[in-house]
């Protein structure tokens, strides 16, 4: 097996391999037993029944309309959600009709195939498949020749639906789809000068867009020379995506964006290896990619919680189908066990049919990689080891105290020019008994302002005042690679984790900070987390230590009590440190909802040039 990221075969050699392996379908076709054999699996029936009910209810309805006003909304107001709610709902409804027809009985298939074909036609008729937020050429929000994340996803979806439903899609419509994909995606990608900006990015855009364009071509394109050219170009660009990960496999984009960017890269590798009968790969023999595969599972807490530094959601579960593939591909029992546990969760709780990822790409893989029902019934969440990611400058630790309470802790050093950056060096999160106690806001509502360098750090989600970090002489941390922490100590023992970072360089000169060192000491068996900031200013000043939580806070004497879903957490300032303020900070959640966090401010009992701020976290 030849890894295209390591070797550079000629386009002629690639075309010869593609020609010799032509006809290998990307997915099983309609009526193949591979589909129907999964429909009685509990991890499938839990979402298939409500999904099919929705598909029947929507069968005679047109899709919600993407009006010209919605396309232009982002240009006029900088708002994304109004358009995107409709855009993704259209694709969810297509997926519901398609999956119900694939997995249903003959009667269901007969009833829903006409609905599927109408929906396919309505989405095909969209002038532009790209989100208006990613159209930079005009004010209409439409550009059929722009390729973004979701335009590429749509291209791959159409290609795979052609493969699966080729027997029922009219020949003239099928040809129109093939022509559009070749013109707007395959040839457009090859001919664009300069290349699309995402082709050389060390983050998720690179992988997702390549998966969409190249995955679609691998699925349907019979011009082997054209596909060989696509492969050769992608093989030069995808190493840049991999370079965005540390040698330890880490990415500052976090587990949710790992699931997106690296998840789509994983699916592209699966497509490539399948299409070429195992002759070509993006994975084979790459030790760094193997480490990347294990990063996100190590950055998850129990009960569907993420370690969500930067623009990451607080809750969610990694794709069990991606983990199933990785576990099998790498022979990794931990990844396989986590996949089984998440499939078991979906068997019990169902699947969010309103989420952005509830599309055909998602559901088709969920169905095809589901383990046997007996395996799901026995599945439990695997125990993850403590880990220090040296390149990322972060630790993740877990432990059970003497009373049986589960402590899950993560902290970071890092720098302030990370992917989806927040000014958050020295921040940390803590879950107790599977509930968040000390939190990161993560991703707020995505708007034009949030992705503007001038206004991003006015948003509490990205600025230092929205994180559990120090606030020095009225100064927050600044964005930029020079504003970086240095890890001084990362000691992980079975009962004790000590992590120390120097935060001095994270603050501007106006902070007049000569030294600022933060240490976390987690004593697992004792059930105690101690946070200590040692500081030295160039004169008497004001230094504060912020603490962010989402649950109600009450004060009891000098202490603060945080009431989580499962426990009451006590924050105890030690001698010389006092809790000065508890304040409510509103923000707009990622889905456009009004949310808030509580911000606790700790300070020295008296202004000083140097000293120590310390508080302890324990169960009440």
- Nearest-angstrom CA–CA distance, 87 and 204: 21
Residue 376 lies inside a defined structural domain of this protein: no
Determine the 3-state secondary structure of 85 from DSSP: helix
User: CA-based angle 488:491:497, to the nearest 5?
Assistant: 115
Residue labelled with tokens 């790969």: 281
Do residues 431 and 439 make contact, with C-beta atoms less than 8 angstroms apart?
no
For 254-290, letters b (16+ CB in 10 Å) and e give bbbbbbbbbbbbbbbbbbbbebbeeebbbbbebeebe
> What pLDDT was estimated at residue 316?
94
Q: Which of 549, 558, 535 lies closest to 599 in space, CA to CA?
A: 549
> What pLDDT was estimated at residue 357?
84
Model pLDDT for residues 18-67, shown as the tens digit of each residue: 999 999 988 999 999 999 999 999 999 999 999 999 999 999 999 999 99
Model pLDDT for residues 329-345, shown as the tens digit of each residue: 999 999 999 999 999 99
Do residues 256 and 315 make contact, with C-beta atoms less than 8 angstroms apart?
no
> What pLDDT was estimated at residue 26?
85
> What pLDDT was estimated at residue 73?
94
Share of the chain above pLDDT 70, in %: 100
Q: Which of 389, 599, 616 lies closest to 499 in space, CA to CA?
A: 389
- Nearest-angstrom CA–CA distance, 606 and 540: 10
Q: Calculate the average pLDDT of the chain.
A: 97
Determine the 3-state secondary structure of 464 from DSSP: helix
Residue labelled with tokens 């100064």: 475
Q: Taken in order 158, 161, 163, 166, is the CA torsion positive or negative? A: negative
Share of the chain above pLDDT 90, in %: 98
Tell me the mean pLDDT in the region 324-328: 98
Tell me the mean pLDDT in the region 400-420: 97
Residue 241 lies inside a defined structural domain of this protein: no
The CA-atom distances, in angstroms, between 325 and each of 56, 264, 334 are 32, 12, 12
Tell me the mean pLDDT in the region 229-241: 98
Residue labelled with tokens 């439990």: 380
Under the banding of pLDDT at 50, 70 and 90, the label for residue 105 is very high
Q: Which of 222, 231, 223, 276 lies closest to 21 in space, CA to CA?
A: 276
Domain range for 414 is: 387-619
The gap between the terminal CA atoms of the chain, to the nearest Å, is 57
The CA-atom distances, in angstroms, between 238 and each of 200, 207, 431 are 8, 7, 36
Q: Please count the structural domains in the chain.
A: 1
CATH number at residue 484: 2.70.98.70
**pLDDT for residue 477 is more than 90:** yes
> What pLDDT was estimated at residue 25?
87
Under the banding of pLDDT at 50, 70 and 90, the label for residue 245 is very high
**pLDDT for residue 438 is more than 90:** yes
Taking residue 474's Cβ as centre, other Cβ atoms within 10 Å add up to 11
Residue 300 lies inside a defined structural domain of this protein: no
Residue 406 lies inside a defined structural domain of this protein: yes
Do residues 408 and 522 make contact, with C-beta atoms less than 8 angstroms apart?
no
Model pLDDT for residues 526-560, shown as the tens digit of each residue: 999 999 999 999 999 999 999 999 989 999 999 99
Model pLDDT for residues 567-596, shown as the tens digit of each residue: 999 999 999 999 999 999 999 999 999 999
Residue 603 lies inside a defined structural domain of this protein: yes
- Nearest-angstrom CA–CA distance, 468 and 426: 7
Model pLDDT for residues 351-371, shown as the tens digit of each residue: 999 887 899 999 999 999 999
Residue 523 lies inside a defined structural domain of this protein: yes
Tell me the mean pLDDT in the region 72-83: 95
For 491-511, letters b (16+ CB in 10 Å) and e give ebeeeebbbbbbbbbbbbeeb
Determine the 3-state secondary structure of 467 from DSSP: coil
Residue 507 lies inside a defined structural domain of this protein: yes
> What pLDDT was estimated at residue 356?
79
> What pLDDT was estimated at residue 8?
86
Determine the 3-state secondary structure of 543 from DSSP: strand
Residue 533 lies inside a defined structural domain of this protein: yes
Residue labelled with tokens 């007969």: 110
Do residues 544 and 603 make contact, with C-beta atoms less than 8 angstroms apart?
yes
Taking residue 335's Cβ as centre, other Cβ atoms within 10 Å add up to 24
Determine the 3-state secondary structure of 597 from DSSP: strand
């Amino acid at each position: 097996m030849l890894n295209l990221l390591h070797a550079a075969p000629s386009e002629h050699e690639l075309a010869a391999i593609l020609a010799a392996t032509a006809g290998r379908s990307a997915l099983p076709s309609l009526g193949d037993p591979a589909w129907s054999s999964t429909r009685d699996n509990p991890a499938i029936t839990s979402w298939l029944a409500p999904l099919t009910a929705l598909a029947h209810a929507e069968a005679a309805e047109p899709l919600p309309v993407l009006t010209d006003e919605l396309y232009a909304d982002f240009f006029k107001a900088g708002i994304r959600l109004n358009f995107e709610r409709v855009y993704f709902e259209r694709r969810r409804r297509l997926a519901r009709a398609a999956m119900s027809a694939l997995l249903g009985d003959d009667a269901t298939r007969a009833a829903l195939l006409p609905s599927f074909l109408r929906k396919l036609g309505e989405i095909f008729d969209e002038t532009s498949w790209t989100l208006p937020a990613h159209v930079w050429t005009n004010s209409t929000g439409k550009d059929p020749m722009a390729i973004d994340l979701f335009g590429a996803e749509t291209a791959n979806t159409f290609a795979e639906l052609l493969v699966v439903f080729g027997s029922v899609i009219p020949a003239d419509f099928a040809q129109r789809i093939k022509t559009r994909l070749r013109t707007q995606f395959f040839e457009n990608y090859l001919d664009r000068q300069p290349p699309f900006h995402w082709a050389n990015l060390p983050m998720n855009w690179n992988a997702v867009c390549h998966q969409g364009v190249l995955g679609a071509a691998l699925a349907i394109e019979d011009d082997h020379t054209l596909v060989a050219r696509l492969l050769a170009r992608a093989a030069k660009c995808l190493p840049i995506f991999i370079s965005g990960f540390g040698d330890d496999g880490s990415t500052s984009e976090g587990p949710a964006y790992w699931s997106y960017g690296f998840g789509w890269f994983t699916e592209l590798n699966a497509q490539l290896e399948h299409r070429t009968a195992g002759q070509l790969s993006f994975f084979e023999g790459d030790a760094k990619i193997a480490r990347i595969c294990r990063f996100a599972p190590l950055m998850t807490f129990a009960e569907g919680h993420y370690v969500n530094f930067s623009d990451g959601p607080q809750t969610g579960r990694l794709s069990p189908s991606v983990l199933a593939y990785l576990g099998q591909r790498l022979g990794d029992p931990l990844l396989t066990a986590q996949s089984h546990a998440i499939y078991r969760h979906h068997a019990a709780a169902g699947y969010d049919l309103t989420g952005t990822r509830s599309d055909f790409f998602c559901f088709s893989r969920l169905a095809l990689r589901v383990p046997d029902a007996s395996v799901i019934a026995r599945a439990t969440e695997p125990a993850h080891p403590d880990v220090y990611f040296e390149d990322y400058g972060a630790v993740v630790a877990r432990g059970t105290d003497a009373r049986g309470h589960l402590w899950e802790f993560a902290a970071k050093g890092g720098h302030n020019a990370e992917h989806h950056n927040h000014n958050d060096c020295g921040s940390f999160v803590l879950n107790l008994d599977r509930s968040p106690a000390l939190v990161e806001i993560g991703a707020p509502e995505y708007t034009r302002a949030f992705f503007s360098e001038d206004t991003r750090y006015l948003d509490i989600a990205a600025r230092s005042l929205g994180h559990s970090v120090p606030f020095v002489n009225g100064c927050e941390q600044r964005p930029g690679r020079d504003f970086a922490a240095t890890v001084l100590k990362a000691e992980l023992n079975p009962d004790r984790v000590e992590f120390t970072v120097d935060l001095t360089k994270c603050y501007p000169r106006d902070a007049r900070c000569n030294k600022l060192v933060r240490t976390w000491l987690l004593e697992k068996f004792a059930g105690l987390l101690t946070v200590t900031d040692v500081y030295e200013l160039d004169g008497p000043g004001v230094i504060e230590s912020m603490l962010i939580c989402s649950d109600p806070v009450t004060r009891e004497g000098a202490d603060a009590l945080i009431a989580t879903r499962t426990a009451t957490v006590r924050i105890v300032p030690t001698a010389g440190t006092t809790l000065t303020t508890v304040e409510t900070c509103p923000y707009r959640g990622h889905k456009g909802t009004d949310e808030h966090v509580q911000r606790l401010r700790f300070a020295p009992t008296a202004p000083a040039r140097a000293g120590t701020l310390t508080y302890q976290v324990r169960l009440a």
